[in-house]
Amino acid sequence: MEQSDQSTRLWGGRFSAGPSPEMVALSLSVHFDWRLAKYDLQGSRAHARVLKAAGLLDDVELDRMLTALDDLEKDVASGSFVGTEADEDVHTALERGLIERLGALGGKLRAGRSRNDQVATDLRLYLRDNVRSIVRELITLQQALLAKAEEYRDVVAPGMTHLQHAQPILFAHQLLAHVHAFARDVDRLRDWDRRAAVSPLGAGALAGSSLALDPVAVAAELGFDRPADNSIDAVSDRDYVAEFLFTAALIGVHLSRIGEEVVLWNTTEFGWVSLHDSWATGSSIMPQKKNPDIGELARGKSGRFVGNLMSLLTTLKALPLAYDRDLQEDKECTFDSVEQLLMLLPAVSGMIATMTVNTDAVSRGAGAGHALATDVAEWLVRQGIPFRDAHEISGAAVAACDERGCELYDLSAADLAAIDSRLTSDVLSVLTVDGALAARSTHGGTAPSSVLAQIDGIKASIAAQRAFIDPA
Ligand code: ARG
């Protein structure tokens, strides 16, 4: 069997034969873990300084090392230095790049460091960086929803349960409900970041190092809060990946819910929203079509976000400590969730920001489908009637309407009195959509006054979220 070239491998010493092509193909990760290159170089700079402090590099060597790392970073950024198939992974490729620039000195950087603590550090740095980009996109989306809510603040709509008319609401109230979901996602990511801010570097392969390394200094230089307290845990823990993938899956599910609503609102039957041409697609055969593909892809992609979480959890289950090569499987699912979110979020934000709400269509039928039945029942309760009876009386009014093919607000005082003597003419005061809305003025309710207060709360929440991505 043909043996592949050994030149860049980090572990040739005790082998008399090179790996089979099949082994190389299976093992190879540089085609995906190349995304970690810039973080790996960041870690390398911190490690070089620590080797100098430990007396393992002199001043001149450190200087040359840092210059070469900067140079390598530039070439990685411009694409003039790339990992190749002969490099097993990103760490191997970057050591090759360093040796190409420094000769034997390049081989000194690996002292006290293993790919096990290196890759765990790289992935944390990658995720902490990208989580900030995701939070930025989540803020943009919340703002798009908030702007629509403010633009259409007075528009009433039928609120639904079971996708049936339930009670009238402000359309803004429904848009803002989505904002709260995304605000919780941001909150989860900020909370995640606190736990992810632990540096694995210094753990070595699994047991720490006999060299005078300084994990505290390395952690600080890389922006972590502290180094890991247990070197075995440092190289084997992927909780931060699982937690991230869960949060990404939940964001995906939230996007699928707003995506589905837009798809529904955009149907001829609803006719509630019109999408901007730039944020919709056409059909190759039906010239009249304008399809809500962004909403549909938001719905569809939730499958892969959930799948990526399942994939990682399954990989982690029953893995013995410390590092196992299984852990290489943590990356593609993570990169996929990050990249898909960063593609999907701006598209959904743009679709929302540019859609027009057809207010007549939204408001039409806000009180229809007997949506004021609860108002009648609660009016009776305020007259001292037990809710159990009030529910029956209001139900009788609904039945009478069904028989006549009318709505509750079409009934006259005489009609109401004939249904039940306790339905006096005063009940007419709650049989309007505006009356029903204004009455729901509890905290978090749909009354215009409550929705205004809610908007203030959301603005304060978004300002706090900004502080996370742009610290003062
Ligand atoms: N590519 C490997 C990974 O993603 C890097 C660590 C390899 N460590 C090892 N002992 N083979 O996990």
The three-state secondary structure class of 111 is: coil
Residue 38 counted as domain residue: yes
What is the domain count for the chain? 3
With beta carbons less than 8 A apart as the criterion, state whether 93 and 84 touch: yes
Residue 48 counted as domain residue: yes
Is the domain of 272 the same as that of 193?
Answer: yes
Q: Which of 31, 37, 32, 4 is nearest to 18 (CA)?
A: 4
Tokens (6 digits) for 440: 């729901």
Tokens (6 digits) for 66: 């840092």
Is the domain of 130 the same as that of 207?
Answer: yes
Pairing of strands 226-227, 273-274: unpaired
Q: Which of 187, 196, 167, 186 is nearest to 373 (CA)?
A: 167
Residue 305 counted as domain residue: yes
Is the domain of 245 the same as that of 338?
Answer: yes
Is the domain of 51 the same as that of 126?
Answer: no
Does ligand 1 have an atom closer than 6 angstroms to the CB of 9? no
Tokens (6 digits) for 292: 């809500």
Q: What is the chain's pLDDT, residue by residue, as a tens digit (472 residues)?
A: 334 444 577 777 788 888 899 999 999 999 999 999 999 999 999 999 999 999 999 999 999 999 999 999 999 999 999 999 889 999 999 999 999 999 999 999 999 999 999 999 999 999 999 999 999 999 999 999 999 999 999 999 999 999 999 999 999 999 999 999 999 999 999 999 999 999 999 999 999 999 999 999 999 999 999 999 999 999 999 999 999 999 999 999 999 999 999 999 999 999 999 999 999 988 787 888 889 999 999 999 999 999 999 999 999 999 999 999 999 999 999 999 999 999 999 999 999 999 999 999 999 989 888 889 999 999 999 999 999 999 999 999 999 999 999 999 999 999 999 999 999 999 988 889 998 899 899 999 999 999 999 999 999 999 999 999 998 7
Q: Given its phi and psi angles, is residue 162 left (phi above 0), alpha (psi -120 to 50 degrees) or beta? A: left
Is the domain of 41 the same as that of 99?
Answer: yes
With beta carbons less than 8 A apart as the criterion, state whether 53 and 214 touch: yes
Is the domain of 201 the same as that of 290?
Answer: yes
Closest ligand 1 atom number to CA of residue 88: 1
CATH number at residue 422: 1.10.40.30
Beta strands (DSSP E) in 225-319 are 226-227, 273-274
Active site residue 283: yes
Per-residue CA distances from 299 to 251, 265, 305, 439 (Å) = 11, 14, 11, 35
Instruction: Give the mutation target among 325, 330, 334 for probing the ligand 1 site: most ligand atoms within 8 A of CB.
Output: 325
Is the domain of 285 the same as that of 338?
Answer: yes
Does ligand 1 have an atom closer than 6 angstroms to the CB of 138? no
With beta carbons less than 8 A apart as the criterion, state whether 52 and 62 touch: yes
* Per-residue confidence (pLDDT) for residue 16, from 0 to 100: 82
Of 16, 80, 162, 210, catalytic? 162
Neighbours of 164 (CB within 10 A): 9
Tokens (6 digits) for 254: 């939230």
Domain endpoint, select from 311, 328, 363 = 363
Residue 3 counted as domain residue: no
Residue 464 counted as domain residue: no
Residue 202 counted as domain residue: yes
Question: What residue's CA is closest to ligand 1, atom 5?
Answer: 115
Tokens (6 digits) for 368: 């229809």
Is the domain of 29 the same as that of 131?
Answer: no
Residue 309 counted as domain residue: yes
Query: How many alpha carbons fall within 13 Å on the CB side of residue 412?
Result: 2
Expressed as residue numbers, the domain containing 426 is 373-431
CATH number at residue 105: 1.10.275.10
Is the domain of 295 the same as that of 402?
Answer: no
* Per-residue confidence (pLDDT) for residue 415, from 0 to 100: 93
The Å distance, Cα 196 to ligand 1 centre, comes to 20
Active site residue 391: no
Domain endpoint, select from 330, 363, 396 = 363
Is the domain of 77 the same as that of 150?
Answer: no
Closest ligand 1 atom number to CA of residue 323: 10
Tokens (6 digits) for 267: 């149907």
Residue 132 counted as domain residue: yes
* Per-residue confidence (pLDDT) for residue 7, from 0 to 100: 59
Is the domain of 186 the same as that of 309?
Answer: yes
Is the domain of 100 the same as that of 241?
Answer: no
